[in-house]
Amino acid sequence: MLDADKRRLLELFRLVGKRETKHTNDGRIRFYLDANGRYRLRAHVEELLDFADEHGMLSQIALFEEPFDENVEADVRGLPVMFAADESLHAVEDVAARWDAGYRAVALKPAGKGLTTTLRLAREAMRVGAICFVADSACTPILLDWNKNVAARLPALPGINCGLLEVNGPQQYAHWDDLIAAHPDAGRAWIRPARGAFHFDAEFYAGGGLFHSNHSRIVSSPGIPSNCG
């Protein structure tokens, strides 16, 4: 498994690792690794990261999510990339426990866990000093707007000059364009990404995507910034 991960990681970097972007401080794209708990030993994670370093890839890994299953007693303290907690977060109290284990980022899922739970997790993450970003839950376009509204109001990750939002709906739904067309705001500029990024205008921040912009306005929860990078 580890050898297969090394080969796949190297393949991806050779394919797109040298592409340029205006969304990072150094103009190089970033990679987001989600292990989904596949590793059983910290030594395996260390070996993968050593491999990435040897091939000049380490500095472009922005996040490494959930390397271990919850039942594995291992931490990530001292390892050279930012690790993110996701499935291991079942309650607000888990955020501090993950922080103590070396995790410095928290994946938020507004459409999956609901806005109330998401905002509580975000507030606790900010209290301990963790960075937050928004992960998908195989969202339809309308549910994706829940994620957009939270992601647009979070601070950016280090080295990245815009918010971070994982989107995998187009890969999950065969009729994605039909779902987009059925969206009440299908014609708005912020519905579809342009060159890999969503662009949010004043109308979006006035309530677009979550509540109808003519009827409601989003009020930021205490502790959640009202603007994004």
**pLDDT over threshold 90, residue 147:** yes
DSSP H stretches of helix in the chain: 2-16, 42-54, 93-100, 110-113, 115-128, 141-151, 169-172, 176-181, 202-205
User: pTM score > 0.85 for this model?
Assistant: yes
Domain termination residue (choose one: 25, 46, 81)? 81
Q: Identify the pLDDT of residue 57.
A: 97
Is the same domain home to 2 and 111?
no
114 with 200, same domain: the answer is yes
Model confidence over 64-77: pLDDT tens digits? 999 999 889 899 99
45-49, 163-167, 180-184, 210-214: least confident range: 210-214
State which of 66, 81, 96 marks the end of a domain.
Answer: 81
Looking at the fold, whether 113 and 197 belong to one and the same domain comes out as yes
Domain boundary among 46, 62, 81: 81
* 14 has pLDDT over 60: yes
Does 209 lie in the same domain as 105?
yes
52 vs 195 pLDDT, higher one: 52
Same domain, 215 and 103: yes
Which pLDDT does position 207 carry in this prediction?
Answer: 74
∠ CA 84-123-94, nearest 5°, is 50
β pairing state of 83-85 and 31-34: unpaired
User: How confident is the model at residue 221, as a pLDDT?
Assistant: 36
Q: How many helices (H) and strands (E) does the chain have?
A: 9, 5
Residues 172, 159, single domain; the answer is yes
12 beta partners: none
pLDDT band at 212 (very low <50, low <70, confident <90, very high): low
| End-to-end C-alpha distance for the chain, whole angstroms | 37
What integer is the mean pLDDT of 172-201? 91
State residue 227's pLDDT score: 33
Domains in the chain, number: 2
- CA–CA separation, 25 vs 20, rounded Å? 11
DSSP letters, 82-145, are -EEE-TT--STHHHHHHHHTT--EEEE-HHHH-HHHHHHHHHHHHHHT-EEEE---S--HHHHH
Q: Residue 159 corresponds to which tokens in the numbers above?
A: 């080295």
Q: Which residue range forms the structural domain that includes residue 39?
A: 1-81
What is residue 211's predicted lDDT score, i.e. its pLDDT? 63
Nearest to 68 by CA among 60, 76, 59: 76
